[in-house]
Amino acid sequence: MKTTIDIPEALYKKVKIRAIERGQTLKQIVLTSLEKNLTDPATATATVPYFARRKLTPEFAAAEESGLNKLTPGTGSIEEIIADIKDDVLL
């Protein structure tokens, strides 16, 4: 697959020099760098989405533990539920 990227001139010169020093092409250097960056364990944690790394706040964890956040089926009408939500927001 082909793509086009803009490389700052100073970086391009460094990469081109490195490629010549190693007897490689610019393409080989770029592909090797990308592969290393994507498989390096040190950078792997940076690719884990936020939601997978998040931690519960102490308050939320305590509410979760006490069962406060559990949903229970109710018999209230939609109007009662909305009124209850509005009461919670006003607190």
How far is 86 from 88, CA to CA, in rounded Å?
Answer: 5
Task: Report the predicted TM-score, pTM, of the whole model to 2 decimal places.
Answer: 0.43
Give the pLDDT score at 41. Answer: 66
CB 15 within 8 A of CB 7: yes
User: What is residue 20's predicted lDDT score, i.e. its pLDDT?
Assistant: 92
CA distance 74 to 81: 9
Whole-angstrom distance, CA of residue 85 vs CA of residue 91: 10
Structure tokens, 88:
């919670």
For the chain, the average pLDDT equals: 82
